[in-house]
Amino acid sequence: MAGDGLARPMNAPPGGNPVPGIQPGSQGVITANRVIIAGPNGQLLVYNGTPANGNLIASIAGAAGTDQFGNAYKAGITEYGAASSFVQLVNGALVLSDVGGQTWLINSSQSGLPRIELDSDQSVFVNSSGFVVAAAPGTPSTPEIWHTMSGFSNSWAASGNTPRYRLLPDGNVQLDGAMDATSATAAAFFTMPAGYAPASPTKLWAGGANGGVIAGQAPFIQAASTGVLSIGGVTLPTVGAHVTISGIYTLN
């Protein structure tokens, strides 16, 4: 792109022949197999009307800079709105800034879940089930809603305290409730959906039980990397035994 605003063939000096069909104030079409913008941090700048300060509406640039009219442009692919607002695609992340100067960065978090950051200080996560989990350092956080467990394995059943689970803002999973071991035929009682299974190794935590459990037995709950939840430390089946599964485990 020449300094006078005309599109020219590669290596054409300023003042040389512009691309045929493109003239100041007119419309033109470039038909080509490839269009190359060459040079250090090559730029494509698009203006609304005559190139001037405040008329820049879009840019593609290898690095941020300022044009000869005083318009600041950003690295990557950017569309400019009113005042200081813009939408930018750079390094695989989508950046949005409103007229108030607040900037949102939408990218992938360390856990692999989509993450939205506000000025790199506040964040919300979208987990694999499509739920939004809010987190703002130094302020109260909001966990996602509780999900009721259903479809138990190996003849386990829910007790009066219905088993449920949810993802916390810090990325940990919280379980709550109790299981009825009256007809249980094996230790595994439920499989967590994708996004709630921990990485290896298996996570363990202490459970509790009522008097139906044999004296001296100490139930525990474990979450495997496959998402399978199971209860150990008790003899099965145990008629009338209710084992609590409440606890928190990490995903990493």
Domains and CATH numbers, the chain: 43-135 (no CATH), 147-249 (2.60.40)
Q: How far is CA 244 from the centre of its chain?
A: 32
Rounded distance, CA 38 to CA 245, Å?
A: 62
Q: What is the dihedral of CA 29, 33, 35, 38, to 10 degrees?
A: -150
What does the DSSP 8-state code read for residue 142? B
Rounded distance, CA 145 to CA 68, Å?
A: 52
Per-residue confidence (pLDDT) for residue 206, from 0 to 100: 94
pTM (global) more than 0.85: no
Sign of the Cα pseudo-torsion (189, 193, 194, 197, in order): negative
Residue with tokens 């040389």: 16
pLDDT in tens, 130-185: 455 554 333 345 678 899 999 999 999 999 889 999 988 888 899 999 999 999 99
Rounded distance, CA 144 to CA 234, Å?
A: 32
Contact indicator for 181, 238 with CB cutoff of 8 Å: yes
Per-residue confidence (pLDDT) for residue 180, from 0 to 100: 93
Q: Where are the alpha helices (DSSP H) in 109-229?
A: none
Per-residue confidence (pLDDT) for residue 57, from 0 to 100: 92
Per-residue confidence (pLDDT) for residue 212, from 0 to 100: 79
Rounded distance, CA 93 to CA 209, Å?
A: 48
- C-alpha closest to that of 104 among 163, 112, 114, 159: 114
Per-residue confidence (pLDDT) for residue 119, from 0 to 100: 47
Each residue's pLDDT expressed in tens, for the chain with a length of 252 residues: 444 444 444 444 444 455 554 555 555 666 667 777 777 778 889 999 888 998 999 999 888 899 999 999 988 889 998 777 888 887 777 777 777 666 766 765 544 444 555 444 455 555 544 455 554 333 345 678 899 999 999 999 999 889 999 988 888 899 999 999 999 999 999 999 888 999 888 999 999 988 778 888 889 999 999 999 999 998 998 888 889 999 999 988
